[in-house]
Amino acid sequence: MTSSTFRRRPLLRALAGSAGLLALDLGTSNRASAQTPKRGGTAVVGVSVAGATLNTQLTSNPTPLIIADIWASGLFKYDKTGAKKPQIASSWDISADGKTYTFHLRPNLKWSDGQPFSSADVAFTLEAFAKYNTYLVKVVPNIDKTETPDANTFVVHLKEPQSSALEGFDKEVFPLMPKHVFDGTDIPTNAANRAPVGLGPFKFVKWEEGRGITFERNPYFWDQPKPYLDSVVCVFIPNVQQQQNALYRGEIDVLRPALPQISRSIEQANAKKMFEVREVKVNAAERLSLDVNLTRDIFNKPLVRQALLVAIDRERISKDVYQGLAFPAMNAIPEQFTQLTDTSVDYNKQFAYDPAKAGKMLDEAGYPLKDGKRFTIDFTSATNADAFYAEPAAQIISANWRALGIDVKLSLLEGQLWTDKVYKQHNYDVSMSSLTARTDPVFGVDRSFLCNASSVPYVNPTGYCNKELDDIAAKAGAVPTAERKALYKQYEEIVARDMPHLTLTNAKKFFAISSRFGGIDEEMDLAFNGNPDMAQVWVK
């Protein structure tokens, strides 16, 4: 670590001390401990720079999502098997016709600022935040009305049955927001987006730019006597290697390591016994993907878009960029959705890496080599600490395309510049991102393919609009699970034919967590997009 880089341990003391919290000596990780939970101590979570907001109703960037589990809560979340686990809703009922969802809320809860929570907050969250939420836009058009018959009951009436609707109300898609804080304000600019009030185990204390964010125990947390820790400090470490070094030295307790670092992290964990590396077995598929701007004349032929996929060495990306912890994606519906995807549609067979074939496809499409060149592509991606894949993957793809005579103009941009360029201005040819498939295709897959006239980030920016596909997607999201696979096969076939969005790889997910904690098994009882909330662990 260079001399210009701040030292994490003094930062922890400064952040925790100024909040009146207890800072621990992080060198105590291997001391003997009792096996029953006890209160006290501070955990340090390593994250990248958080950006403009912590409110995950407004962003789906990785760092705010990791931090959100510390301060926010939802109606339910998922255990490590992918089963639904009650949170603010102690239970729920679905009517026989599949159109009415009744959530029974825990009584007498309070927000982290001490104000009372009720069903009115749940209804307000849906009403006020849906238009900003990448995922809620899939549920809201089908909602007929909502009701709050009493403080502890929230009812959603759908226009038509929708088998995936319940997933729209999990903690990751639908973190609950306080009406008394946001009502009557301009939501995107509300100060609470950076100083949140939530229902999670810890409450916000302060944000120090460029350094970190301090949280302390939420005395009103619904799941008493948790959390056991006094505080959690999220320290900003923009550089992936510096994140790893801080983990190896015991300066941080929790980290989601970049996949290229997993092998080294496991080696260090085995050698030092200071931390463990856990795989999230039921993870939301995270897929490296390319959006192609169909409003450009060059790209309005499906054969050109298919040729771009055939020209990409996805196996090399999986091995070199992801160190073997990703695999070439099979089709539009991720392999993790075992009951829904149909393996008869397989990009690795239909569109296997074959530069010679890709060249012939471009010839056939009307773009033969002329003086060693076919056409020019403006290729862009966001680059930051979370996007470890961006530069190496972009370089491989660019080299693959250049070998065919495509002139690639590569621009790796800061996140907001990239978002504006792709989703607001639509001023790009091909854009690369890593997209999570969430818990159901309705939320994490449809957004890449269905008609979209908005400028919401991470929602189809390609200009592709196919009513046939939209109708099939609507049916697939509504019918019982046993009937969905046949519809998703049609979905996959249409996408493979039209190829407006190129799905390249499918990655795994891991967390490293300090061995100085008890309760690690309980803490890592999570699936899909869940992250540690630090409510389960205690210092040994």
Task: Kindly report, residue by residue over 193-225, the tens digit of the pLDDT.
Answer: 999 999 999 999 999 999 999 999 999 999 999
Per-residue model confidence (pLDDT) at position 51? 82
CA-based end-to-end distance of the chain: 29
28 phi, psi to nearest 5 deg: -95, 20
Which class for 127: exposed (0-12), middle (13-18), buried (19 or more C-beta within 10 A)?
middle
pLDDT band at 17 (very low <50, low <70, confident <90, very high): very low
Per-residue model confidence (pLDDT) at position 137? 72
Per-residue model confidence (pLDDT) at position 13? 43
Which 3-state string (H, E, C) describes 197-238? CCCCCEEEEEEECCCEEEEEECCCCCCCCCCCCCEEEEEECC
Checking 271-276 for CB contacts under 8 A at 24+ apart, the result is 272/248, 273/30, 273/515, 274/29, 274/30, 274/248, 274/250, 274/514, 274/515, 274/516, 275/29, 275/247, 275/250, 275/512, 275/513, 275/514, 275/515, 276/512, 276/513, 276/515, 276/520
- pLDDT at residue 18 tops 60: no
- Reported pTM: 0.85
- Amino acid letter for position 227: P
Encoding tokens for residue 102? 């009744």
Q: Which residues contact 129 (CB under 8 A, 6 or more apart)?
A: 57, 58, 136, 177, 187
Q: What proportion of the chain, given as a percentage, has pLDDT over 70?
A: 94
Domain assignments of the chain as residue spans, ordered by start: 8-72+200-281+509-539, 76-182, 286-507
Least Cα distance to 84 among 399, 525, 456, 540 occurs for: 525
- pLDDT at residue 238 tops 50: yes
As its CATH architecture, domain 286-507 has Roll (3.10)
Rounded to whole angstroms, how far apart are CA atoms 314 and 503? 10
Under 8 Å between Cβ of 64 and 50: yes
Among the residue ranges 35-39, 151-155, 230-234, 291-295, the one predicted with the least confidence is 35-39
Mean pLDDT across the stretch 427-432?
98
CA within 13 Å, CB half, 17: 8
Per-residue model confidence (pLDDT) at position 366? 97
Cα–Cα distances (Å) from 529 to 195, 209, 382, 536, in that order, read 23, 26, 21, 18
To the nearest whole number, what is the mean pLDDT of the chain? 92
- pLDDT at residue 29 tops 70: no
Rounded to whole angstroms, how far apart are CA atoms 273 and 515? 7
Q: Is 139 helix (H, G, I), strand (E, B) or coil?
A: coil
How far is Cα of residue 202 from the mean position of the Cα atoms in its chain? 21
Per-residue model confidence (pLDDT) at position 47? 96
Q: What is the CATH number of domain 76-182?
A: 3.90.76.10
Bigger pLDDT: 13 vs 159: 159
Mean pLDDT across the stretch 375-383?
96
Per-residue model confidence (pLDDT) at position 24? 35
Per-residue model confidence (pLDDT) at position 385? 67
Mean pLDDT across the stretch 393-397?
98
Per-residue model confidence (pLDDT) at position 62? 87
Mean pLDDT across the stretch 255-262?
94
Among the residue ranges 128-137, 386-395, 471-480, the one predicted with the least confidence is 128-137
- pLDDT at residue 27 tops 60: no
- pLDDT at residue 172 tops 60: yes
pLDDT band at 329 (very low <50, low <70, confident <90, very high): very high
CA geometry: angle 45, 204, 214, nearest 5 deg: 40
Strand order in the sheet with 254-255: 202-208, 212-217, 231-236, 42-47, 254-255, 510-514, 275-279
Encoding tokens for residue 288? 């490296």
- pLDDT at residue 150 tops 80: yes
What DSSP element (H or E) covers 77? strand 76-78
Strand partners for 375 = 406
- One fold for both 8-72+200-281+509-539 and 76-182? no
pLDDT band at 3 (very low <50, low <70, confident <90, very high): very low
As its CATH architecture, domain 8-72+200-281+509-539 has 3-Layer(aba) Sandwich (3.40)
Per-residue model confidence (pLDDT) at position 20? 36
Q: Is 353 helix (H, G, I), strand (E, B) or coil?
A: coil
Under 8 Å between Cβ of 115 and 203: no
- Amino acid letter for position 453: A
Strand partners for 434 = 288
Q: What proportion of the chain, given as a percentage, has pLDDT over 90?
A: 85
DSSP state of 318: I
- pLDDT at residue 9 tops 50: no
What DSSP element (H or E) covers 474? helix 467-478
Strand partners for 105 = 89
Under 8 Å between Cβ of 453 and 304: no
